[in-house]
Amino acid sequence: MYYLFRKVIIAIITWMRSTIHLIIILILFSLVACSSQSDGEEPPPSGINEYLNNVGSDTMVNLALAWAERYQQENPQANISVSGGGSGTGIASLINKTTDIANASRQIKPEEIENSQANGIDPVEFVVAKDAIAVIVNPNNPIDQLTLQQLSDIYSGKIINWKEIGGEDRPIVKLSRETNSGTHVYFLEEVLRLGMKDDKTLFSTDTLLLPSSEVIGAEIRTNPNAIGYDGLGYVTPDMKVIAVSAGVGEDLNYIYPSSETVNDGTYPIARDLYMYTAGTPAGFVQTYMDWIFSKEAQEIVNELGFVPIPLP
């Protein structure tokens, strides 16, 4: 009986050892398999082999999203990530090497170029569309037209009531984009300072700095005292667009923003829209930039209310 019991115990121990060895072998096999996949020997098929990050101007974000969506529909292997945050954010991302393309509604500044080059980046500029900055008010506001000088005086705080420029006896509520916005910078330089490089005029301290075009539009729709400015592509029928004149004295020719008045140079608050790459584009970035300058991509520019660039 003792010997029979001993044989049973030995058999059980032998079986347990074999099972443990088998488990260890299976674990080791799994680790080797995972390791080989992580080393790229047998990557799982994802269907995505082209990736591009695109950051910057809030003025351009809807256009950039529309471009990316169309391109990805036609090229399923591509993945294009688009986000806003402002022109300054996009250029900072390019300098920090966290984006492939920076969108900007203003030109890159000399100090930004210096910072880029100090970080080993040589920014290359592309004009990808044009835009008019529309001056907008509530539809109930009787004012139809303003000069650049009047706009400068409004936003710098010299004119504070609509009755001073032929409107109702109401305080003027000034709306602006935040300082990181390329639209804010352009409006400051070309409207408040009337394009004079040595002028130091600033926005009045009671100007409301708002984070996006959508927020400005929402305030304009509900506030009869408000005045704002925005890219033409963000203007909707429930806003009133003001005609603007760059003239003085009796030489006043008031112009509304449109593709035609931007292209013929008669609307005074118009600008180029930019994309910046880290050096001369190559690979997928080059392929995508080439498509941006195609007839198809520029038709999207027109559909969204911006102004296409002339193509060869």
Q: Rounded to the nearest 5°, which phi and psi values hold at 150? A: -65, -40
Which residues are 83's β-sheet partners? Answer: 55
Q: Is 156 exposed, middle or buried (0-12, 13-18, 19+ CB in 10 A)?
A: middle
The one-character DSSP state at 189 is I
Give tens-digit pLDDT for 243-252: 999 998 778 8
Q: Is 142 exposed, middle or buried (0-12, 13-18, 19+ CB in 10 A)?
A: exposed
Structural domains of the chain in order of their starting residue, each with its CATH number: 50-130+272-303 (3.40.190.10), 131-270 (3.40.190.10)
Convert 247-292 into a string of H (helix), E (strand) and C (coil): CCCCCCCCECCCHHHHHCCCCCCEEEEEEEEECCCCHHHHHHHHHH
pLDDT value, residue 39: 41
Cβ contact 271:131 at 8 Å: yes
Mean pLDDT of 44-62: 82
| Unique residue bearing structure tokens 């609509």 | 162
The residue type at 90: G
pLDDT value, residue 140: 96
The residue type at 167: G
Average pLDDT, the chain: 87
Spatial distance between the Cα atoms of 264 and 259, rounded to a whole number of angstroms: 9
The residue type at 174: K
pLDDT value, residue 233: 87
pLDDT value, residue 6: 42
Q: Rounded to the nearest 5°, which phi and psi values hold at 30? A: -65, -40
Give tens-digit pLDDT for 181-232: 999 999 999 999 999 999 999 999 999 999 999 999 999 999 999 999 999 9
Helices and strands of the chain, counted as H and E runs? 10, 11
Give tens-digit pLDDT for 92-147: 999 999 999 999 999 999 999 999 999 999 999 999 999 999 999 999 999 999 99
pLDDT value, residue 47: 56
Spatial distance between the Cα atoms of 52 and 81, rounded to a whole number of angstroms: 6
Q: Model's pTM, two decimal places?
A: 0.77
Residue 108, CB-side half-sphere exposure with 13 Å CA sphere = 29
Q: Which residues of 10-27 are buried (b: 16+ CB within 10 A; e: fewer)?
A: eeeeeeeeeeeeeeeeee
pLDDT value, residue 32: 37
